[in-house]
Amino acid sequence: MKRLARTRYKNAVVWTGFGNPLADVLTIGDDRIISNDSEVDFEIDCGGRAILPAFIDGHSHPSIVAKSSLGPDVTHCKSIGEVVECVSNWIAANPSAKWAVGGSYDRSMAPGGLFRAKWLDDASLTVPIVLHASDQHTIWVNTAALTKVELPDSLPPGVEIGEDGRPTGMFFESEAKNLILDAVPAQQEAELVASVERQLEHLLSLGVIATLDAWGDDSSESIFDQVRSPVRMERAIAIHPGKWRSLSSVRTAKFFVDGVLGAKTALVTEPYVTDHSHGNSFWDMSELLEALTHFNELGCRLHLHAIGDGGVQIVIDELRTLGSTKYPATIAHAELLLDDQITALSELSVFVCAQPLWARVDSLSVGALENLGTLRSSKLYRHKDLLNANGLLSFGSDWPVSSPNPLLGLFTAIYRCEPGSEATLNIDQSISIHEAIRAYTETPARQLGFERVGRLEIGYSADFVMLSGNPFIDNGKSLPSLFVDQTISGGQTLFTRR
């Protein structure tokens, strides 16, 4: 990495912070932003390219990506046949593998997102196969995996049972998934460490200099401690009912209040139109309050997964009962919000870490749209309403659920569609390019507790990206075709494309 001395970036389009006019020059001295009147050692002509604060991903899972990347990658498969071929090829190329564990398959390839073990049997009848769905709340396994694991007589909710009374190969949410995953042999630490480092290098190429790994556990802590990367990776430990009282070395406590809309495990106040169920809450309310109190008193940040309006209401009620917290709490996702919930989240100063790429019509959202119906789908991803209520909107990718590329996230937040598509999702909730940039820079920096980060003002850390063009000239329409040319953090060049 090359240390930058006093350097002036001129002939640029510089976004210094929300509410500021665009500038045409940026000057850094060592690791800080300094006055543009300062003497410098070097000048760099940016050729009209844009400079933004470096991106901060408020909610992602690089450790999950690292684990999955060591197995079959079915992310880009467009059919069940392609999945089977991909897994079969991986098994043939890895003959010593005792299990084939990979992801992330597109749930929309099968009606209702329901797959069958026998379909994966075409890839192998002997090697147990476990594939994570794109939502990361579901796994699909083959018959060999079902045979390998000694399932209890009394199965928990989340294990799909077929007409013959036996598991079909679909396991939803942690309690059910762990029946299978607990039997998977642990991967080699050295391989996992190297894989995590590769994923963080990928984030740097996208201009991301910090993120919250939002689903760690005791076993992942030793992995994290060995990782060497300039990416600042905060770690959240998943807190599960009945299994949290012995945990102490936790900086961010992650609670799963409910599930996901596509699998109908997110808790909703009105029933899903497809089967009239309401989803699930994974906690007893008294135990959740006890756990929140415990980790708040330990000085932890509280990070709560809640997707349905029922799940969101639980978070609001529990935080009101808890009273003050050492740090502002974060609610992750909050996909379905009622009017009074938006007001409450603003009044409680809760960070809402939303995923901008979900706010479009694609294979990821189709399940939610079908399960909610037209009327309630109009209440999805209310980014504009949150900001109008003075709410704290931050962005995170939830990678690998969706792409970690912030430029795609910014585009979607502005236009609420896939690039090249005219099908929008709740276009009235689109936000400005300036609001979107703030949600991927300054606000997640505040969410994660970073100081003097997320703006390009004097005294702030010299963390910024230079893009391959200027997205302000067309109000962000060109964002999907742009790249990050340079990623600089603390005055050090961490990535250069050209």
Round the average pLDDT of the chain to a whole number and report it.
Answer: 95
pLDDT in tens, 163-172: 999 999 999 9
* Cα→Cα distances 302→60, 114, 212, 236, 331, Å: 16, 33, 12, 9, 8
Mean pLDDT of 159-187: 93
Q: What band does 223 get if pLDDT is binned at 50, 70 and 90?
A: confident
Distance of alpha carbon 77 from alpha carbon 85, whole angstroms = 9
Assess whether pLDDT exceeds 80 at residue 498.
Answer: no
Q: What is the mean pLDDT of residues 457-486?
A: 98
Q: Are 100 and 130 in contact (CB under 8 A)?
A: yes
| pLDDT digit string, tens, across residues 295-305 | 999 999 999 99
- Averaged over 288-313, what is the pLDDT? 97
Q: Which residues does residue 101 pair with via DSSP β-bridges, in sequence order?
A: 130
Round to whole Å and give the CA distance between 26 and 7: 8
Positive or negative CA dihedral for 291, 333, 83, 68?
Answer: negative
Q: How large is the average pLDDT for residues 115-128?
A: 96
Burial of 155 (0-12, 13-18, 19+ CB in 10 A): middle
Architecture of domain 1-54+455-498: Roll (2.30)
pLDDT at 215: 85
Question: What's the CATH code, domain 189-453?
Answer: 3.20.20.140
Give the ranges where 59-183 is alpha helix by DSSP (H): 62-68, 80-93, 117-120, 143-148, 173-181
Reported confidence tier of residue 4, pLDDT bands at 50, 70, 90: low
The β-bridge partners of 28 are 7, 33
220 pLDDT above the threshold of 90:
no
The 10s digit of each residue's pLDDT in 347-361 is: 999 999 999 999 999
Say whether pLDDT at 54 is over 80. yes
Assess whether pLDDT exceeds 90 at residue 131.
yes
Tell me which amino acid residue 379 is: K
496 bridge partner residues: 486
Domain boundaries, the chain: 1-54+455-498, 71-181, 189-453
**476 pLDDT exceeds 90?**
yes
Q: Is the pLDDT assigned to residue 241 strictly greater than 90?
A: yes
Task: Output the CA–CA distances (angstroms, integers) from residue 326 to 11, 251, 255, 288, 295, in the order listed.
Answer: 43, 12, 17, 17, 10
Nearest to 114 by CA among 350, 312, 275: 275
Taking alpha carbons only, the member of 414, 405, 410, 466 closest to residue 13 is 466
Instruction: Work out whether strand 167-172 and strand 138-141 pair parallel, antiparallel, or are unpaired.
Output: antiparallel
Tokens linked to 377: 């789908």
The arithmetic mean of pLDDT across residues 386-402, rounded, is 97
Q: Please, which residues have CB within 8 angstroms of residue 165's CB and are 6 or more apart in sequence?
A: none
In whole angstroms, how far apart are CA 29 and each of 7, 23, 457, 496?
7, 18, 12, 20
Pick from 201-205, 224-228, 456-460: least confident: 224-228
- Phi and psi of 421, rounded to 5°? -105, 150
Taking residues 285-291, report their average pLDDT: 98
pLDDT at residue 118 greater than cutoff 60: yes
Instruction: Report H helices in 298-380.
Output: 309-322, 339-347, 366-377
| pLDDT score recorded for residue 1 | 47
Fold of 71-181: Diaminopimelate Epimerase; Chain A, domain 1 (3.10.310)
Residues 55 and 50: their CA atoms lie apart, in Å, by 14
Residues 468-483, mean pLDDT to the nearest whole number: 98
Question: Does the pLDDT value for residue 247 go beyond 90?
Answer: no
Q: How far apart are CA 73 and CA 132, in angstroms?
A: 10
Looking at per-residue confidence, does 5 or 209 come out higher? Answer: 209
- In DSSP notation, 405-444 reads -HHHHHHHHHH-S-TT----S-GGG---HHHHHHHTTHHH
Return the CA Rg of the chain. 23
Asked whether the beta carbons of 338 and 376 are under 8 A apart, the reply is no
- The per-residue pLDDT for 203 is 98
Q: Which tops the pLDDT comparison, 246 or 398?
A: 398
Q: How far apart are CA 247 and CA 249, in angstroms?
A: 6
> 400: cis peptide before it, omega within 30°?
yes
Check whether the bond before 104 is cis (ω within 30° of 0). Answer: yes
Answer whether residue 414 shows pLDDT above 60: yes
Local confidence band at 193 (pLDDT 50, 70, 90 cut-offs): very high
Average pLDDT over residues 310-318: 98
Higher pLDDT, 102 or 3: 102
Rounded mean pLDDT of 402-406?
97
Q: What is the pLDDT of residue 33?
A: 98
